[in-house]
Structures are given as structure tokens and as C-alpha cells.
Amino acid sequence: MLKQVPAKIAIGENLTSEEIYHAATQQKAADFSPSVQKTIEDSEQKLNQCIERGQLIYGVNTGFGPLAKYQMSSDQSNQLQKNLVFHLSSGVGQPYSAEQVRAIMLVRLNNLSKGYSGVSFKTLALLKNMLDQDILPFIPQMGTVGASGDLTPLAHLALAMMGQGHVLSRDPNNDAPVPADQALIEAGLAPLVPEKKDALALVNGTAAMTAVAALNAHHADNIYHLQTLLSVMDIVSSKAPKEAYHPIFAEVRPHKGMIHAFNNLAALLGVDGSASLGQKASNSYQQQETAHQAVYSLRCVGQELGAFYDCLDHHQTTVDVEINSVSDNPLVDKASGEVYHGGNFYGQHIAYASDFLGIGLIKMGVFMDRVVARLCDPSKNKMFPEYLSDQTIGIHSGFMGAQVTVSSLVAELRSLSTPASIQSVPTNNDNQDVVTMGTIAARKTAQIIDLVYYIISIEALMMAQIVDLQQNIEDLPLPCQRLYQLVRSVTPKLQEDRPLSYEIEALTKVLKQEAIASFLDK
């Protein structure tokens, strides 16, 4: 699913969620496509012509929301734009991370660079200069319903651009927010004085939810590839029958995800179209039960991963479209110069896609929990010592505590399973009588990802322990050997009992940063 990421991000082109991820986490260089400045200036000129004709344009010469019935004179325009940012800067809670803020800034730049917003180029240039110099607005996470897009978080972005908010600290020894005016002065940047539609264009769109969803897309794809490799390690170490991973299962049930998952599994396990359907398991797994009735956490790996891949694919497709869309209001038609009022800011697509991905991730966590439970229980696996302990059982408890942690994490995952997208609450004097909660959905999915990473880290520790107990690393395909080596670069084999908390945290951090899909290409 991952695509090649160019060395430089072209703002105004068709960007992908993977490009957003790399730009946000690795601070890849970003620049405007050659045509962007002219496109923006032409759009602003068309907007000015409409204003000069006396046309009523929402948020430019009218009030906002239910106050749109009030008309403004031209000399009130600048104050109107400032006050929009001021009254919307009401967010609360923890701020978005530096990576999330970079992603938000880049998505908003790309949305507005399409030339349908009537925003001034000076506004986009300042936003890009702030991104280039890593001046990142302090944006509280809570306070948006995702209806007129992300009004509240994007207002905090605009507030910092105006030199009246705060930005994230770049001091590793002091994380207190820095006054935005101070940061702009030090960078040699003049604060924004918003005019006409500048502030409205900045705040009126889905950039926050889309940016968080773009980062989620990368991590969910990483989890998919991690679980693929861990499942293959499980299949090989459990000596489960390879028959269940024959390509015929995807041929006769050709969902895109099934095909992708079975192609991976067949390649890793050495199962091709010529393999006998009657292929039997070797020794011990047949002793547990008949070869054709392996437990579902072994036998249905391809189906589980296949369904999850389809969930990923839908989410990523939706996010990639939104990254390259125009999601503010009103819009300026580049061809005719007419201004159209509507609701492209409405974040329902991201809300549904985020909830869908969240459900898929939760089920992956449940699947991992059953794998962990089976590996810990000799009555189920018939092969491994209780809790994978390498020492005297009873005196040493192996992964018993870690399994309890997995159970706790699954309970937390299930507590996050209620969709955010159904939680519409009328607001704004019922002007926003139905809302999307898309930003809450994306943020909740990010929480789910963090929990699933913990579970998969514990599963990876246990699979590495099994490799050490069986001394079977040569039996594993090379990508699985690479994953084993990655785990062992962080944490040694569990012999005598020791605290695992720090090692789980350290391995989770490494797995989040590693591009696991690349293991399959080496």
C-alpha cells in the first residue's frame, strides 16, 4: 500500500497520506508547485471583483453562522476576519503533537493551493514559511464538532499566524508554549493581518481531521505488515498446516485485501499454486487437533488480514482524496469567477473512514490477544512452556504479567469502539443542526493505534522468545528474521523474570518508527 515518497513535497499537487506522514515526521522539504502563486492570485482577484460589485459573500461582508444576516461594510472587513479567529480560539485540552501540527499545516496549504478559496498568497506564504522554520502553532485538540470543518483547531493555527497565540516550544529542556509574536520576530516573519477571506479560508475546512487521519493511515499500514510477519512466525513455529494459505482461497473470494494478504502469506511461507491441497502439518500441531481444524487465530490469518487490508484501503483512499480537495466555503469558481456557497467543509467522509479504521484496528487487537493467550497456554499450543518461561515454572512466571497487560489493553480498546460519527449534537443556535465529529473520530483512532502498538509489541516479544526457545530462526523467511533481529536489538531473551515495562515502551517506539513494509522488499 505504501508508495514511493519524493525527496520534496509539491504543495498544490496530488499528495498522498504517506507524503504527509514523511513531511510531518521527517520534516521533508515542501515547496509550492510552479503554478500555485498565479492560481491563488487569480482566485483572489475574482473574489475582489465580486466584492466590488456589491455581492453578498458569506464571512467576507456578512457575519458568521446564524449571524450571517448582518451585513458588514468594506471598512469592517479586516476586523471581521480578526474577530472570527478570536471568537473561535476556544479550544481546550492537550495540544496536537509537533508531527500532527506539521501535517495540519501541510494539508491546509495543499487544500488552499487549489485556487478555489479566494485567499491571499501572502497568507499561504506565511504559513509555508512557518512550516519551513518549524514554527508550529499551539493547537488544543478539543473543541471542534467537525461540521464547518475544524473551526476551533484551525483558528488556533490562524491565531499564531497573527502573532497573538502561542507556538510549540523547540527547547528540549522546556516544553512551555512560546508566544507566537516572539517566535515570528525571531524568524524575521511579519504576523498576518487577515483581509477579505483570509481568516475564513484558514479556519473553514477539514485539515485537522484529515491530517490526523493521514498519520493514522501510515501507522495502520505498519501494523498490518507487522501482524503479517508475526503471523508467519506463529505459523512456522506452531508447525501449522500451510494448506490454509493456498492462493486458491483468494482466487475464489477475490476481495482486494484477501488477494494482498494471501499473496504475502503464500510468498513468505513458500506456498504456490502448484502446492498440494492435501499438504499436511508436521508432527505436533496434528497432535493438538486434526490438521484441517487448526484454531482460527492460525487458520483464518489470511481472512483476518485481508479484511483489515480492505479497511485500510478504504480509509487511505478517502484520506488521499480529502488531502487534495477544497473543503472551505464559499468557493470561487476559477473559470467563471462566480462565488458559490455550500458545505464542503462538512467532515463526514473522514468521520466514517476513521471510525471504520478504528473498528478494524480494535479487531486486530482482539485477534492479537487470542494469539498471545494461545502462546501462553500449553493446553492450547501443545508446544511451548507455560507463559514461555525459560526457567523453573512457578518460581518464574515468564510473560504472565505481560499477558494481563494485553487483556487490559483489549478492554481499553473495546471502550473506544463506539463510533464518533453517530454522536451528532446540534450547536451554533441550530445552524449546525447536524455535525460529523470527524476530528474526534480521527483522534480516537490515533488513541486506538497507540494501544494496538503496545499489544503488538508484546506479541513480538513473545514470538522472539519462541524463536529463541525453539532455536528455529533459520526456518523463518528472511523478513521474519529481520523482525526478530529488530526486536532483539531492543530487548534480550527473557530468562529469569525481570520488569518488562520499559522494554515494551522501547520496542513500541522502535516499531512505530520502522517501515515494516520495507522488510518485504529486501
Q: How far is it, in rounded angstroms, from Cα 367 to Cα 304? A: 8
Residues 153, 141: contact at Cβ < 8 Å?
Answer: yes
Q: What is the DSSP string of 253-316?
A: S--HHHHHHHHHHHHHHT--TTS-TT----THHHHHS-GGG--HHHHTHHHHHHHHHHHHHHHH
Q: How far is it, in rounded angstroms, from Cα 291 to Cα 235? A: 13
Q: How far is it, in rounded angstroms, from Cα 248 to Cα 273? A: 7
Residues 460, 226: contact at Cβ < 8 Å?
Answer: yes
Burial of 127 (0-12, 13-18, 19+ CB in 10 A): buried
| Residue reference for cell 464538532 | 145
Residues 200, 328: contact at Cβ < 8 Å?
Answer: yes
CB within 8 Å of 214: residues ≥ 6 apart: 17, 20, 21, 24, 103, 107, 319, 323
Q: How far is it, in rounded angstroms, from Cα 125 to Cα 105? A: 12
DSSP state of 96: P
Omega within 30 of 0 (cis) for the link into 330 = yes
User: Of the listed 58, 70, 116, 309, which one is catalytic?
Assistant: 58
58 is catalytic: yes
The catalytic residues are 58
